[in-house]
Amino acid sequence: MFLTIETGLVVLAFLLLAAGVVGSLVPQVPGALLSLSGVFTYWYATGEPGTVVLIALVLAGLVTWGIDVAGGVVAARAGGASNGTALLAGVVALVLFFVTGPLGVILGVAVTVFGVEFYRQEDARKGLKAALVTTVGMLASGVAQALVTGSILLAMVGVELL
Protein backbone atom coordinates (compact mmCIF):
# COMPACT_ATOMS: atom_id res chain seq x y z
CA MET A 1 0.00 0.00 0.00
CA PHE A 2 1.36 3.42 -0.98
CA LEU A 3 0.84 6.71 0.77
CA THR A 4 -0.60 9.52 -1.28
CA ILE A 5 0.93 12.97 -1.20
CA GLU A 6 -2.19 14.21 0.60
CA THR A 7 -1.83 11.56 3.32
CA GLY A 8 1.85 12.37 3.71
CA LEU A 9 1.08 16.08 4.07
CA VAL A 10 -1.62 15.39 6.66
CA VAL A 11 0.84 13.28 8.67
CA LEU A 12 3.44 16.06 8.33
CA ALA A 13 0.83 18.60 9.47
CA PHE A 14 0.09 16.68 12.66
CA LEU A 15 3.79 16.17 13.33
CA LEU A 16 4.26 19.94 13.04
CA LEU A 17 1.26 20.57 15.30
CA ALA A 18 2.65 18.18 17.96
CA ALA A 19 6.11 19.74 17.60
CA GLY A 20 4.47 23.12 18.19
CA VAL A 21 3.12 22.01 21.55
CA VAL A 22 6.47 20.54 22.61
CA GLY A 23 8.35 23.51 21.18
CA SER A 24 6.23 25.96 23.15
CA LEU A 25 7.69 24.48 26.35
CA VAL A 26 11.30 24.78 25.16
CA PRO A 27 12.82 28.28 25.29
CA GLN A 28 13.81 29.73 21.93
CA VAL A 29 11.87 27.10 19.93
CA PRO A 30 9.06 28.75 17.94
CA GLY A 31 6.18 26.51 19.00
CA ALA A 32 3.53 28.85 17.63
CA LEU A 33 5.18 29.03 14.23
CA LEU A 34 5.46 25.23 14.12
CA SER A 35 1.75 24.99 14.96
CA LEU A 36 0.86 27.49 12.25
CA SER A 37 2.99 25.54 9.78
CA GLY A 38 0.97 22.46 10.68
CA VAL A 39 -2.32 24.30 10.19
CA PHE A 40 -1.26 25.64 6.79
CA THR A 41 0.16 22.28 5.69
CA TYR A 42 -3.14 20.59 6.57
CA TRP A 43 -5.10 23.34 4.84
CA TYR A 44 -2.94 23.02 1.72
CA ALA A 45 -3.41 19.25 1.63
CA THR A 46 -7.15 19.12 2.36
CA GLY A 47 -8.69 22.55 1.89
CA GLU A 48 -9.84 22.38 5.51
CA PRO A 49 -10.49 24.04 7.91
CA GLY A 50 -12.89 26.60 6.50
CA THR A 51 -12.11 30.29 6.36
CA VAL A 52 -13.53 31.25 9.77
CA VAL A 53 -11.77 28.45 11.65
CA LEU A 54 -8.56 29.06 9.71
CA ILE A 55 -8.59 32.75 10.65
CA ALA A 56 -9.28 31.90 14.30
CA LEU A 57 -6.39 29.41 14.38
CA VAL A 58 -4.03 31.87 12.70
CA LEU A 59 -4.98 34.58 15.21
CA ALA A 60 -4.41 32.15 18.09
CA GLY A 61 -1.03 31.24 16.63
CA LEU A 62 -0.03 34.88 16.19
CA VAL A 63 -1.04 35.72 19.77
CA THR A 64 0.98 32.75 20.97
CA TRP A 65 3.96 33.89 18.93
CA GLY A 66 3.60 37.33 20.52
CA ILE A 67 3.63 35.76 23.98
CA ASP A 68 6.78 33.87 22.99
CA VAL A 69 8.56 36.95 21.70
CA ALA A 70 7.53 39.36 24.43
CA GLY A 71 7.07 37.09 27.46
CA GLY A 72 10.60 37.20 28.82
CA VAL A 73 11.06 40.90 28.14
CA VAL A 74 7.73 41.81 29.73
CA ALA A 75 8.55 39.66 32.76
CA ALA A 76 11.98 41.25 33.11
CA ARG A 77 10.48 44.73 32.92
CA ALA A 78 7.74 43.77 35.40
CA GLY A 79 10.43 42.62 37.81
CA GLY A 80 12.14 45.99 37.63
CA ALA A 81 14.88 45.15 35.12
CA SER A 82 15.99 47.77 32.62
CA ASN A 83 15.44 47.48 28.87
CA GLY A 84 19.17 46.85 28.48
CA THR A 85 19.05 44.01 31.00
CA ALA A 86 16.06 42.46 29.23
CA LEU A 87 17.86 42.69 25.88
CA LEU A 88 21.06 41.19 27.31
CA ALA A 89 19.04 38.37 28.90
CA GLY A 90 17.51 37.62 25.49
CA VAL A 91 20.96 37.39 23.90
CA VAL A 92 22.18 35.14 26.73
CA ALA A 93 19.12 32.92 26.28
CA LEU A 94 19.79 32.56 22.58
CA VAL A 95 23.46 31.65 23.06
CA LEU A 96 22.81 29.28 25.96
CA PHE A 97 20.08 27.47 24.07
CA PHE A 98 22.72 26.10 21.70
CA VAL A 99 25.23 25.39 24.47
CA THR A 100 23.23 24.17 27.47
CA GLY A 101 19.63 23.58 26.44
CA PRO A 102 16.44 24.76 28.15
CA LEU A 103 17.55 24.43 31.79
CA GLY A 104 20.73 26.36 31.05
CA VAL A 105 18.67 29.06 29.37
CA ILE A 106 16.48 29.54 32.43
CA LEU A 107 19.40 29.53 34.87
CA GLY A 108 21.55 31.70 32.60
CA VAL A 109 18.84 34.31 32.19
CA ALA A 110 18.19 34.38 35.96
CA VAL A 111 21.89 34.82 36.74
CA THR A 112 22.28 37.46 34.03
CA VAL A 113 19.31 39.49 35.20
CA PHE A 114 20.40 39.26 38.83
CA GLY A 115 24.00 40.20 38.06
CA VAL A 116 23.23 43.14 35.80
CA GLU A 117 20.48 44.52 38.03
CA PHE A 118 22.59 44.08 41.17
CA TYR A 119 25.42 45.98 39.47
CA ARG A 120 23.09 48.63 38.06
CA GLN A 121 21.05 49.27 41.21
CA GLU A 122 23.59 48.20 43.85
CA ASP A 123 20.78 46.36 45.61
CA ALA A 124 20.74 42.57 45.94
CA ARG A 125 17.02 42.48 46.76
CA LYS A 126 16.07 44.37 43.60
CA GLY A 127 18.38 42.18 41.54
CA LEU A 128 16.91 39.03 43.06
CA LYS A 129 13.35 40.28 42.53
CA ALA A 130 14.05 41.04 38.87
CA ALA A 131 15.66 37.61 38.38
CA LEU A 132 12.79 35.74 40.08
CA VAL A 133 10.03 37.61 38.26
CA THR A 134 11.84 37.10 34.94
CA THR A 135 12.26 33.37 35.57
CA VAL A 136 8.65 32.89 36.67
CA GLY A 137 7.51 34.96 33.69
CA MET A 138 9.48 32.80 31.27
CA LEU A 139 7.99 29.64 32.76
CA ALA A 140 4.47 31.09 32.76
CA SER A 141 4.93 32.19 29.16
CA GLY A 142 5.84 28.61 28.22
CA VAL A 143 2.77 27.23 29.97
CA ALA A 144 0.50 29.78 28.26
CA GLN A 145 2.03 28.92 24.89
CA ALA A 146 1.60 25.19 25.52
CA LEU A 147 -2.08 25.70 26.36
CA VAL A 148 -2.76 27.65 23.18
CA THR A 149 -0.70 25.41 20.87
CA GLY A 150 -2.38 22.41 22.51
CA SER A 151 -5.75 23.99 21.75
CA ILE A 152 -4.71 24.50 18.13
CA LEU A 153 -3.73 20.82 17.94
CA LEU A 154 -7.05 19.73 19.45
CA ALA A 155 -8.98 21.97 17.06
CA MET A 156 -7.17 20.40 14.12
CA VAL A 157 -7.90 16.91 15.45
CA GLY A 158 -11.55 17.99 15.52
CA VAL A 159 -11.31 19.24 11.94
CA GLU A 160 -9.81 15.90 10.87
CA LEU A 161 -12.44 13.82 12.67
CA LEU A 162 -15.46 15.86 11.59
In whole numbers, what is the pLDDT of the chain averaged over residues? 89
Predicted TM-score (pTM) of this structure: 0.77
For residue 77, the model assigns a pLDDT of: 79
Spatial distance between the Cα atoms of 63 and 66, rounded to a whole number of angstroms: 5
For residue 26, the model assigns a pLDDT of: 80
Cis peptide leading into 30, omega within 30 of 0? no
Task: Rank 17-26, 77-86, 88-97 by mean pLDDT and report only the highest.
Answer: 17-26
Task: Rank 47-61, 89-103, 105-119 by mean pLDDT and report only the highest.
Answer: 47-61
* Model confidence pLDDT, tens digit, residues 29-38: 889 999 999 9
Spatial distance between the Cα atoms of 102 and 25, rounded to a whole number of angstroms: 9
Q: Is 102's pLDDT higher than 80?
A: no
* Model confidence pLDDT, tens digit, residues 37-75: 999 999 999 999 999 999 999 999 999 988 877 777 778
Spatial distance between the Cα atoms of 116 and 10, rounded to a whole number of angstroms: 47
**H-helix or E-strand containing 20?**
helix 5-24
Is the separation of the CB atoms in 18 and 35 below 8 Å? Answer: no
